[in-house]
Amino acid sequence: MKFTDKPIGKREEDRLHRQTFVNQLSRAILGWASEDPLVIGLYGSWGDGKTSVINMLLEETRATCTVLVFDPWHFNNQEELLRKFLEEIFLAASKQLPFLSAVSLRRKARNLATRLSSIPLSASYSGVSLKLSDIKPSPSTPTSLRSEIQQLLRARSRKRRRKILVVVDNLDRLPPNEIALILKLVTLCTDLSDFIFLLSFDFAYVAQSLQSTMYASGEATSGAEYLRKIIQADMQLPAIDPDDIDAFVNEAFSTIQEAHGFEWPPDFTERFPPFYQKHIRGRVVRNLRDAKKLANAAAFTFPMIRGELNYTDWLGTEILRVFFPEAYEITSRSLDTLAPPYHDISAMMHPPERERWKSRYQALSDQIPSASKPAALAILAFLFPSFEAWQGNPANPSIMGPDIHTEWSKQQRIASHDYAHRYFLFGPPAAKLSDVAVSLLINRFNASPAAQLEDLVHHSLRDLRANHHLREFLDRLILRADLIDPAIRSNLAGALASAPQAYGTETSFVMDSEEDRAQALIFALASQEEATGNPTEVLRTAVLRAYAPSFAVDIVLFSTPARNKILRDFSRIDLDSVKSALSEALNSQFEGSAKNIFDESVQSPHYILYQWAGPLLNQRQQVQQYLESLFRAGPANLVRFLAGFTKGDPLAETSEPKSFDAEKLREAFDFDWVAMHVRKLGTLQGLSPREQFALAKFAELLTPDAA
């Protein structure tokens, strides 16, 4: 798919409604009654469609004019440019002559070109006043070439005599010395009858290019004045109607949509149009060429980022890349400032840190080149809300809090630290899990028969863990829980809870292990049920099918407003029924114990597990089996249980414990077995003060004296 920048060739392709202007210009050219030559300037900026207008004009004039289109861009040096210009002009004129006269005219044209090219250019064209009458075929010839050429031109019969329209396009693509040469050559030919020269260029650019040449020669005080000495009729291209550009942009994005068989999501249709209208329309995308550059960039990179990035932010980044490459490069180097990690967002809320971030924003802004700064900063403010807050109030910006980070990640926004770098890689890094892969797996879950879902989930989790993608997958699924089919939410929660040996407990801080993320995903599934479904059933299914008692206990303990930031409407959750179901399930594994282990006031998982096992100390073998299941589920779970033997406030997770009941531990369990496994624990991070205390006290028991 390509939106070509090639000029249109006929009026039927006119998107900018310039046919009326072309008709008027054609009528003026064809109606020029004088035999005197005429030089017309057709002015427009790069990309405004000058060549397209010329092509439509040629359609109107070819039937009644002899037309020559001369493109100076195609020649390698000034000498070649000079020769070809004169030869082609007189070749066009010779088409109106009888055969012999035409041959003679072409021969004299070559003679003229040879004579001119033999004169040093620096000496030949220092002034505007040079004419054909100044040049003779040879030093010994008394008559000028002008006289001989004019005599040949008069040989045209009245019947065959027509205006000769010479169109010179792309003048503004040439270096200054070649621009000056073309203008000299046009001036050289202005004493030939019936010639009309149409010069197409960007007036401001050409005038600026000529400036140093004009000052050096003393011919004019400015490039613009020099041009006005040559151009006899000025024509400015009509301004482009922005609605015409909008129509093309809309059509381009519809074409991309149809080519890839999808629909732009609501976020794109809601956010991109107002952003485009406010910051891009007429400011960045000013003409059809700009619109085609944007469309081609989007068409080329869309297949790379499909399903991986937020489409609105992707297009904003593409606009930076295509139109403001320096700002794009600066942005790519400043992502830790524009899209900081989660912990930095929290720190930004404190005044000392806020001052540091304000200075970082200012330093970034100062790097943007002044010519592109207004537009580039507007795009950055749109892409990065915290940067927008600083722009709105540099003295005291309202920095976004950490809660919004989750929403940005869910929307795949560039403001999310998890996604920012992906915009400059056009997708996820090689070591990361792609969002497309996550979506495909979600679709497989949704389409799976109920009887096969658990096996599919367990197999998928094992594969993901083997490839070191499990935690990343769980995090991504937490954000996308709304994509899970409501019919499978409870069953999926049960499959996640029952996955044996699927989760590791390695963690860099509290609540960040794979097991923790699996529990968070179960809460996310329950949260999706809060509006119209049954969140209690999701939690109950997870608790009853949990692969380890500690996993189930954590689900219950974290289903409270004080501990859970994922669930929102706790009035729709019957937590008592979940507690009762878990108590019955746990007690059914042991004889002689049938009580609800959850006390209304107890919120410590360590204390609850201890309270449950305490009355069962005479059933040593069964408790030992439980401990082994804890260790298999994750070494940190064993430390949790040890923490239940500390003495202190059992309700306070982080309170300072006073002592460790080693005697009760020796009475309850096989001390040698516990000691062996504790020695295997190594260094665990993310432990609470109570867990650290229990582990330290137990380590003291392992010394020879204690033993």
Q: Where are the domains of the chain?
A: 11-236, 242-425, 433-588, 620-707
* Alpha-carbon radius of gyration of the chain: 40
Instruction: Find, among 147, 150, 186, the residue nearest to 168 by Cα.
Output: 186
Q: Give the residue, 351 or 569, on which the prediction is more confident.
A: 569
Looking at the predicted structure, is the pLDDT value of residue 297 above 80? yes
Element (DSSP H or E) covering residue 166: strand 164-168
Q: How far apart are CA 168 and CA 178, in angstroms?
A: 13
Helices assigned H by DSSP within 218-287:
223-230, 242-260, 266-275
Kindly report, residue by residue over 273-295, the tens digit of the pLDDT.
Answer: 999 999 999 999 999 889 999 99
pLDDT above 90: residue 496? yes
Work out the angle between the directed axes of helices 489-497 and 514-528 (0-180°, nearest 10).
160
Cβ-based neighbours of 224, under 8 Å, separated by 6 or more: 203, 207
Task: Please list the helix, strand and coil fractions of the chain in percent, rounded to the nearest 5, in that order.
Answer: 60, 5, 35
Q: What is the pLDDT of residues 653-671, one digit of tens each?
A: 445 555 666 776 666 666 6
Report the pLDDT averaged over residues 84-89.
Answer: 76
Q: What is the CATH number of domain 11-236?
A: 3.40.50
248-274 pLDDT per residue, tens? 999 999 999 999 999 999 999 999 999
DSSP character for 143? S
Q: Say how far apart CA 586 and CA 619 lie, in whole Å.
A: 14
Roughly what angle, to the nearest 10 degrees, separates helices 176-188 and 203-217? Answer: 80
Best CA proximity match to 16, nearest among 45, 48, 41 = 48
In order of 22, 30, 63, 166, 685, the CA distances from 58 in angstroms are 9, 12, 9, 11, 79
SS3 46: coil
Range 22-29 average pLDDT = 93
Is the whole model's pTM more than 0.85, yes or no? no
Q: Is a pLDDT exceeding 60 seen at residue 563?
A: yes
Mean pLDDT, the chain, rounded, equals: 79
The three-state secondary structure class of 164 is strand
Token pair in block for residue 364: 């970034």
| Distance (Å, whole) CA 695 – CA 228 | 91
Distance CA(626)–CA(563), nearest Å, equals 26
pLDDT value at residue 610: 53
Amino acid at 37: P
Q: What is the pLDDT of residues 349-400, one digit of tens each?
A: 666 777 787 888 899 999 999 989 999 999 999 999 888 888 877 666 655 5
- Give tens-digit pLDDT for 42-55: 999 888 889 999 99
The CA-atom distances, in angstroms, between 141 and each of 111, 146, 417, 633 are 13, 12, 81, 108
Predicted confidence at residue 357, as pLDDT, reads 79
CB 91 within 8 A of CB 109: yes
Residues 560, 570 contacting (CB under 8 angstroms)? yes
Phi, psi values for residue 518, rounded to 5°: -65, -40
In angstroms, the CA 598 to CA 579 distance is 7
Placement of tokens 């040559």 in the chain = 230
